[in-house]
Amino acid sequence: MFSKENILKLNVFVLFMAAIMDLIRGIMHTYGVKYAAVNLAGIEPIPDSLVLMGSFGISNFLTAFIYFLVIWKARELAPYVLIFIPISYVIGALGFTQFQNVPLEAEFLGQYLMKPYLIICAITALTYFLPFRSGQLKSS
């Protein structure tokens, strides 16, 4: 039977993998910004777009370090952090699509990595929250 502790370990592992992914994204968006702009994002590498991508890379470093800190110091927060990741992207997408009328039509390769990333974060977090609400799992 799955225990709360085992499901928490799964959530911690997925958060660790998200931290690794954010480190890689941080490196690509900052140290490989010109390559990423042209070959992954499909945007012209003009200074404005490169600075914006680099800024996003900096935030990727920040989130990676925060995820590592949660794993190291407060691992019981891992499921909450995992559920906040897709929620944050939904809030952001609603902000620029619904309130600023920016269509989600861009053909950037990163979306094929981000969609599974967000789905995995959500499903993993839900494995922690849903079974305990219905009393299906033991809490040891």
Asked if residue 140 belongs to a domain, the reply is: no
DSSP 20-62: HHHHHHHHHHHTTHHHIIIIII-----HHHHHHHHHHHHHHHH
Q: What is the pTM of this model?
A: 0.87
Percentage of residues of the chain with pLDDT beyond 70: 91
Q: What is the pLDDT of residue 133?
A: 53
Spatial separation of the C-alpha atoms in residues 130 and 137, rounded to whole Å? 10
Asked if residue 127 belongs to a domain, the reply is: yes
Residue range(s) defining the domain that contains residue 108: 4-133
Asked if residue 49 belongs to a domain, the reply is: yes
Asked if residue 34 belongs to a domain, the reply is: yes
Per the model's pLDDT, the better-predicted residue between 52 and 135 turns out to be 52
Percentage of residues of the chain with pLDDT beyond 90: 66
Query: Is the Cβ–Cβ distance between 9 and 126 less than 8 Å?
Result: no
* Number of separate domains in the chain: 1
Asked if residue 113 belongs to a domain, the reply is: yes
Q: Apex CA 117: angle with CA 46 and CA 37, to 5°?
A: 10
Q: What is the per-residue pLDDT across 66-77, written as a single tens digit (0 to 9) for each?
A: 999 999 999 999
Asked if residue 27 belongs to a domain, the reply is: yes
Asked if residue 139 belongs to a domain, the reply is: no
Per the model's pLDDT, the better-predicted residue between 124 and 139 turns out to be 124
Q: What is the pLDDT of residue 40?
A: 84
Per the model's pLDDT, the better-predicted residue between 137 and 12 turns out to be 12
